Amino acid sequence: MTQTENEWIEIAIQALEKAYVPYSHFPVGACLVTKEGKLYQGINIENASYGLTNCAERTAIFKAVSEGEREFKHLVIAGHTPEPISPCGACRQVMVEFFEPDMPVTLIGDHGVLKETTVEELLPYSFTKKDL
């Protein structure tokens, strides 16, 4: 792992403290890296209506895309989980919309547990704009 990747991991872990999780008390943090090296932090943002909750990785993606970013090279997601956190299905579908299939995704849990995966590994045989 490169020093840079360590920094991205640190930024995803720091985001955990900002998560808005009054209902689940399950904070998640994310750090999305553009091809130019710009970083977008994301947190999960819950809602009293529960279903409107936005996951940390989608927050990071939507922040970046709404700033005009379209080219990404890495995503880190961190949770206080015994195993590396597993992104939900909705987030995996949003990932395939904006990321190349071979883009690396780093999943972090407590005590430094870590899994390096890719967008395609997380959502194989996905439905994308190529299918339209």
Q: Which residues sit at the interface with ligand THU, rule CB under 6 A?
A: 21, 24, 26, 28, 44, 46, 53, 55-57, 77, 85, 87-88, 91
Return d(Cα 31, Cα 48) in angstroms, integer: 25
Closer Cβ to ligand THU, 12 or 33, answer by number: 12
Compute φ and ψ for 32, nearest 5 degrees: -105, 130
As measured in angstroms, the least distance from the Cβ of 24 to ligand THU is 4
| Catalytic residue, candidates 17, 57, 83, 100 | 57
Return d(Cα 81, Cα 86) in angstroms, integer: 9
Residue 83 has what DSSP assignment? S
Return d(Cα 51, Cα 26) in angstroms, integer: 15
As measured in angstroms, the least distance from the Cβ of 79 to ligand THU is 7
Q: Tell me whether residue 10 is one of the annotated catalytic residues.
A: no
As measured in angstroms, the least distance from the Cβ of 87 to ligand THU is 4
Catalytic residue numbers?
Answer: 57
